Amino acid sequence: MSASFRNGSASRPNIQHDNGFLDLPGCTGSNPGITDYLVLGAWEAAYEAADTIKGHELADALAAYNHFLHGDGADRTFAHERFIANDPNGQTVIANAISSAQFGAENVVRQQFLNETEDFQFEMTSTAIKVGSTTGFPYPASQNWQKALGGHVIWMSGFVFVAIAHKLRNYDMDLTLHVEDRYNFNPGQADIASGAPDSWNGKLSCSGLAQQYMNYSTVNRRVAWIEGNAGKPSATTVLAPRSDSPRPRDRRTRERLRTN
């Protein structure tokens, strides 16, 4: 599975997230009872124990779960860069996202800018990708990120600058990876590492003593390549994101990428 791109400014695709146990009939609507508070106390104790024993190893997972217990359902911003840096499957996700965007940029050019003979630039935006659904965009490998994020959704937007040199198009792309996920627990599922059923935490959602929430993050990359080399890591240069803002309107004010 890969994303498709179209010419245009960043536009969030129509992404639908499940509501976990809240979708079940009778899950909500009653005040929490003694049993519910006992369940909350048990999970508070489990959180404290995990923080003491595995606080470093499960830092992102514990932060995410703590927000479930105490965040009152507010949106949360997390560092997807940590997933990329610390989970081997995170590195696969960013590599394939970059490759998908490169092919997407070249496809937009073929469709709309094929007859350009001077340098030009354009914006593009993508459809959504479900991370965790394919080998190209795999589920987190580490226990930390399985608990902190699990399957999630990404989409991309980019500013693409094309310099024409020696009859070749040289691409210079500012790419933004948009990440979102609803943190909750789902009927019939269980924790991969411990086997603990999601229903244990689902009770907290139903009682209102803990709340699901939205996770958001963005990742920025600047990528340069020569036409025809899309998807080839050895022929792709990943640079530090640009710091200049706003982006210049004059297409000729950008530095040109020249072939040797």
State the number of CA atoms in the 13 A half-sphere of 133 facing the CB.
Answer: 9
Percent with pLDDT over 70 in the chain: 93
Statement: residue 251 has pLDDT above 60: no
Q: How confident is the model at residue 259 (pLDDT cuts 50, 70, 90)?
A: very low
Identify which has the larger pLDDT, 247 or 120: 120
C-alpha span between 82 and 60 (Å, rounded): 9
**What is the pairing mode between strands 168-183 and 129-131?**
unpaired
Which residues does 20 contact at the CB level (< 8 Å), separation at least 6? 182, 184, 185, 186, 187, 198, 202, 205, 212
| pLDDT tens track for 150-195 | 999 999 999 999 999 988 999 999 999 999 999 999 999 998 888 8
Query: Cβ(190)–Cβ(146) under 8 Å?
Result: no
The arithmetic mean of pLDDT across residues 74-100, rounded, is 96
Statement: residue 120 has pLDDT above 90: yes
Task: Please report the pLDDT score of residue 257 as a whole number.
Answer: 40
Whole-prediction pTM value? 0.89
Task: Please report the pLDDT score of residue 235 as a whole number.
Answer: 85
Query: Which residues lie across from 76 on neighbouring strands?
Result: 215
| pLDDT tens track for 1-15 | 689 999 999 999 999
- Residue 100, token pair as written in the block: 């998908």
The arithmetic mean of pLDDT across residues 142-150, rounded, is 96
Task: Please report the pLDDT score of residue 245 as a whole number.
Answer: 45
Which residues does 195 contact at the CB level (< 8 Å), separation at least 6? none
C-alpha span between 164 and 68 (Å, rounded): 51
C-alpha span between 134 and 92 (Å, rounded): 11
- Residue 3, token pair as written in the block: 């994303």
C-alpha span between 36 and 110 (Å, rounded): 59
Which residues does 178 contact at the CB level (< 8 Å), separation at least 6? 10, 12, 154, 155, 156, 157, 218
- Residue 39, token pair as written in the block: 């369940």
| pLDDT tens track for 12-70 | 999 999 999 999 998 987 789 899 899 899 889 988 988 888 878 999 999 999 999 99
C-alpha span between 163 and 169 (Å, rounded): 6
C-alpha span between 193 and 249 (Å, rounded): 51
* Helix, strand, or coil (residue 100): helix
